[in-house]
């Protein structure tokens, strides 16, 4: 039962089993889920943070369980790592804008985060590539996406700083 639940968890309840671009679908599902939580249900950012931290922590043993008897230590069906990495820039955007946030602005920002995250997750600049190549376990599976998410944050901060000098 636990192995079945872990497999469901790491595939975002079967979404990762889609044969074509499962990582992209997982990232897209993440922005839809977070948009609904923040903008439709107006759930507290603190409660969402607790949920994200619990998902992050549980992902390590769940991925370990899922890949235990698998030669491929980062199979494509595991997309909970995309959820974690994609959540980082979106969550930071939401808490940095407090209660004053437009749904239209959020959709634009979420879309930019989605494109940037997929770019960094696919291109794997250092240290994303370091974790992807050197850790063939749950740590590597998760941390390469965490760093791809942090690259999105860094890119957006650089853009904001540069645009403040140009405007």
Tens of pLDDT along 120-147? 999 999 999 999 999 999 999 999 999 9
The alpha carbon torsion through 94, 84, 146, 93 (nearest 10 deg) reads -10
Q: Which of 117, 115, 107, 132 is nearest to 83 (CA)?
A: 117
Overall pTM > 0.85: yes
Q: Residue 3 and residue 150: Cα distance in Å, rounded? A: 30
The proportion of the chain whose per-residue pLDDT surpasses 90, expressed as a percent, equals 82
Tens of pLDDT along 86-96? 999 999 999 98
pLDDT (mean) for 63-81: 90
Q: Residue 159 and residue 149: Cα distance in Å, rounded? A: 15
Label residues 98-136 b or e (16+ Cβ within 10 Å = b).
eeeeeeeebeebbebbbebbbebbeebeebbeebbeebe
**In the chain, domain spans:** 2-166
Q: Using alpha carbons only, what angle is made at residue 164 by residues 123 and 35, rounded to the nearest 5 degrees?
A: 55
Residue 73: DSSP 8-state: S
Give Cα 24 to chain centroid, integer Å: 10
Does the pLDDT at position 5 exceed 80?
A: yes
Q: How far is CA 1 from CA 4, 25, 136, in A?
A: 5, 26, 25
Please give the structure tokens belonging to residue 56.
């992050």
């Amino acid at each position: 039962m636990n192995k079945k639940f872990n497999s469901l968890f790491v595939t975002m309840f079967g979404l990762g089993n889609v044969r074509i671009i499962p990582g992209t679908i997982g990232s897209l599902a993440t922005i839809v889920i977070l948009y609904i939580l923040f903008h439709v249900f107006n759930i507290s950012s603190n409660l969402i943070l607790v949920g994200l931290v619990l998902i992050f922590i549980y992902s390590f043993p769940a991925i370990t369980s899922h890949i235990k008897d698998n030669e491929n230590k980062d199979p494509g069906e595991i997309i909970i790592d995309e959820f974690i990495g994609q959540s980082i820039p979106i969550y930071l955007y939401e808490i940095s804008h407090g209660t004053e946030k437009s749904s239209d602005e959020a959709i634009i920002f979420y879309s930019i985060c989605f494109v940037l995250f997929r770019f960094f997750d696919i291109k794997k600049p250092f240290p994303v590539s370091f974790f992807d190549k050197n850790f063939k376990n749950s740590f590597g599976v998760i941390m390469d996406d965490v760093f791809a998410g942090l690259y999105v944050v860094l890119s957006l901060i650089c853009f904001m700083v540069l645009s403040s000098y140009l405007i």
